[in-house]
Amino acid sequence: MRPTYLSSPSTKKSYGHNDAQRGGSRTSGLPGEKTFRTFQWSRLSPQLQLHLERLKPGSFLEGATNVIALGKPGVGKSHLAAALGYELILAGHPVLWMPTSNLVQRLLAAKRDLRLPQELTKLDKFACVILDDIGSVQVRRFGIDEIAREGQEVESK
């Protein structure tokens, strides 16, 4: 199964919480305070609220459909992505939240140590990988294009 990636171009940093504290069973890295309960829904248009309600059950995971939240800094992209992550965990889906720069470092280290296929297999165990602050990473600069090609090779096996 190929993981779905939710990405948020900018964020305030707050990581490392265990979702078991919230009733989940997996360590996700989701920020504890960013749930739908704590989000200010009045900030969103009714159309966007409806779209988020449709994402909550996680049917988009079946097709490995990527979801990208775009907007100015501070509008709630990271909050909504984390809140959706909690909903997916409650629905029984394994979720991983990670700053994009951390994922890049992790994959580049795996590539350097000749263990990239194993690292990609670890990520493949998650139904959803939420990448936060994706706008801070330059793909070509870090060699991510090569890692993506390797991932496609692993996926096709």
Domain boundaries, the chain: 4-156
pTM of this structure? 0.72
Torsion angle of the four alpha carbons 10, 14, 15, 20, in this order, in degrees rounded to the nearest 10: -120
Decide if domain 4-156 falls under CATH 2.40.160: no
Q: What is the pLDDT tens value at each position of the chain, 157 positions in all?
A: 455 556 544 333 333 334 333 444 347 889 888 999 999 999 899 999 999 999 999 999 988 888 888 888 888 999 999 999 999 999 999 999 998 889 988 999 999 999 999 999 999 999 999 998 877 666 555 565 666 666 666 556 5
Q: What one-letter code names the amino acid at 7?
A: S
**Contact criterion met (CB below 8 Å) for 86 and 30:** yes
Q: Are strands 4-8 and 95-99 parallel, antiparallel or unpaired?
A: unpaired
